[in-house]
Amino acid sequence: MEYKKPRRSHRLPKKAEELHLNNNPGAQATVSPNLRDNISTLESVFQQSLDFVVRQVSFGPRGKVDLALVFLETLVNQDTLSDYILKPLNYLSFEEFPPTEIPAKIIDILPVSVKIEEETDWQKLIEQMVTGYALLFIDGYDRALALEVRAWKERSISEPQNETSVVGPREGFVENIKTNASLLRRRLRTPNLVLETTTIGTTTHTSIAICYLRGVADDKLVEKVKSRVKEINVEAMYSDNLVAEMLADVRHTPFRLFATTERPDKLASALVEGRVGILADNTPSALIVPSVFWQFFQSSEDYYEHYPLAAINRGLRMLSFFIVVGLTAAYVAAATFHQEMIPTPLLLAMAAARAPVPLPTVLEALLLEVILEGLREAGLRLPKPAGQAVSIVGALVMGQAAVEAGLVSPQVVIAVGLGAIASFLIPDYSFVNALRILKFLFIVLAGAFGAYGLVLGYMALGIHLNSLHSFGVPYTAPVTPFSSRDMRDIFIRAPWWILGRKSSGGGGDSGEKN
């Protein structure tokens, strides 16, 4: 019998109220005053869920008030339910009051620390239930009380893995959006910090928080971010990269148009500059919009170190951009077309080393670059101790073996190795991924046209960068278009007595000032 792959439907899932209406024809779109009907509606939706719990109790004068507490036990704190919900309700059994006052009495007697919302729409109630709310239904009352008693395990706050720092704070974002919001609040102690929430994903209902400083961020920028986020219509939201791709002004480019950070201090600094941050639940990072090209060469350490050292480090990172993209390509161009540019002793040594190599220089360089990228990916996918051994030992052994076997020359190994080392100087890993793509294109151009190919490649790269925009902001700003005021934190980090002056908002500066 031939195996057929299950066909996956690309239609978006039905809304929650459609689900229970189809399963329970007698159900209504809103909460019913009949307690049994409400329980039946929820049972029709969650009847196959092992964590679905219904607690029916009677309270009030002489036990005449029938209540039902419905929740998913894997998402709620049952101690909170017992101590702060059920126990306070027990006191209602000793009071006499009209039935019409039952909801108000319940709300008054529950602790103020418990968030309570009254809701009638089934879709909203089910969405709240699957995000950690318990629903309290009262017989004879056509509304439900949604009680926030969520509790789930989360990773403790630790140092960021991809943005480590020798000096400065060691706290990084975690997967809980509320914990991340608290880390941001600790650094921006002002009522002007706005955290507006929405949800993305018709199945996952992932919480998204749009963060900005009121009065600092440009209102048009904030509204543009909000409108684009609301237009996202996907089935599931897995990471903030989905948001970045959906919101990008230009989608066909290897460069990231949004900066990503795992550091609360970096996000706080960006908000102070007038930018907008996007936090997503279940994602230990944040997006910063708008972002510019020069921002990816800046590190948080620049603002915790003395400014001369920070200026030197930033200069090295910018130099590494040209080394990663063009060093191997420049060697290919010189060895293939422009031997007169190489000193005679070095040229003779290169010719002697290349004598047993059967491959052209361009294929030799491409082969080594492919091997290097394969070792890099293997080091990332393997467990951490084994990955380090594979990436380091593998590069040494493979390089030495390739030279001794006469497959490649030592000069190419040196050029490729220097390019790999230079890629580690750039702080942003996603930005380095774009350069890894570009270096292959530059090698091909150098192998085909020599130095002219390199010049054409850099011209095309410059034109492409100048054509990009991030939420209306030119990607190469403030260099093009030029802004002298914003140049104080681009190629070097200016001293704090210059950099720390208050400037107007709207996302003009591109630094990470803290």
Question: Model confidence over 50-84: pLDDT tens digits?
Answer: 889 998 888 766 667 788 999 998 888 888 888 88
Inform me whether the pLDDT recorded for 288 exceeds 70: yes
Residue 421 DSSP class:
H
Q: Which of 163, 49, 193 is nearest to 429 (CA)?
A: 163
- The reported pLDDT for the residue numbered 93 is 66
Identify any residues that bridge with 53 across adjacent strands, giving them in sequence order.
71
The whole-angstrom separation of Cα 200 and Cα 374 is: 35
CA distance 203 to 235: 5
Q: Does the pLDDT of residue 294 top 50, yes or no? A: yes
pLDDT at residue 507 tops 80 = no
Peptide bond into 98 cis (omega under 30): no
Q: Where are the beta strands (DSSP E) in 201-275?
A: 206-213, 259-261
> How many angstroms separate the CA atoms of 196 and 278, rounded?
10
pLDDT digits (tens, 9 = 90+) for 112-134: 878 888 889 998 899 889 888 99
Q: Considering only CA atoms, give the Rg of the chain.
A: 30
Tens-digit pLDDT profile for residues 273-282: 999 999 999 8
Residue of 447, 492, 192 whose CA lies nearest to 313 = 492
Whether residue 272 contacts residue 403, with contact meaning beta carbons closer than 8 Å, is answered with no
SS3 333: helix
Residue 211 to residues 179, 186, 469, Cα–Cα distance (Å):
14, 14, 21
Retrieve residue 48's tokens: 């196959």
> pLDDT-based confidence at 109, cuts 50/70/90?
confident
The stretch 130-146 carries a mean pLDDT of 89
Instruction: In whole angstroms, give the CA distance from residue 206 to residue 392.
Output: 39
Sorted by sequence, the CB contacts under 8 Å of residue 241 that are 6+ apart come out as none
The confidence band for 100, taking pLDDT boundaries of 50, 70 and 90, is: low
Task: Check if the beta carbon of residue 116 is closer than 8 Å to that of residue 138.
Answer: no
pLDDT score recorded for residue 387: 60
Q: Residue 322's pLDDT band (boundaries 50, 70, 90)?
A: very high
> What's the pLDDT tens digit per position in 185-217?
999 999 999 999 998 888 888 889 999 999 999
Percentages helix, strand, coil for the chain (3-state, rounded to 5) are 50, 15, 35
Phi, psi of 87 (to 5 degrees): -65, -45
Kindly tell me the sign of the dihedral angle through the C-alpha atoms of 137, 141, 143, 149: negative
Residue 380: predicted pLDDT: 74
CA nearest 422: which of 302, 327, 299? 327
342 phi, psi to nearest 5 deg: -95, 135
Q: What is the pLDDT of residue 10?
A: 41
Chain mean pLDDT for the chain: 83
Comparing 33-37, 225-229, 373-377, 398-402, the range with the smallest average pLDDT is 398-402
Confidence (pLDDT) at 15: 46
Q: pLDDT band for position 406 (50/70/90)?
A: confident
pLDDT of residue 513: 45
The whole-angstrom separation of Cα 257 and Cα 299 is: 17
